[in-house]
Amino acid sequence: MLIPKRVAATATATGFAVFVDRYLYCFARRHPSSAAGNGLHDHDDLLDDFSAQASATGITTLNR
C-alpha cells in the first residue's frame, strides 16, 4: 500500500503513530464522504463503494 510522503513523514514518533496515520488515510480513501465531512478533501474525486467486494476487502484489511 502506498502512503503519500506527507502522511508517512508525520508519523516519525512511534510505530503506533504510523499505524494510526495509515489507518486514517485508508479510512478516508474508503469513505471519502466521511472524510470530506471531517474536513479532509484529498479524496473528493472518489465515491463511497458500498459493494460486497469493497466490504469484504475492508474486513480483510481490518483483520490483518
The conformation of residue 13, written as its DSSP 8-state character, comes to S
Give the angle 49-53-55 at the CA atoms, nearest 5°: 65
Q: How far apart are CA 29 and CA 22, in angstroms?
A: 11
Q: Which three cell numbers stand for residue 44?
A: 473528493
Q: What is the mean pLDDT of residues 27-41?
A: 86
Please give the distance of CA 36 from its chain centroid, rounded to a whole number: 12
pLDDT band at 11; cut points 50, 70, 90:
very low
Structural domain harbouring 40: 5-62
pTM value is 0.58
The predicted structure's pLDDT at residue 42:
85
Number of compact structural domains in the chain: 1
User: What is the three-class DSSP state of 44?
Assistant: coil
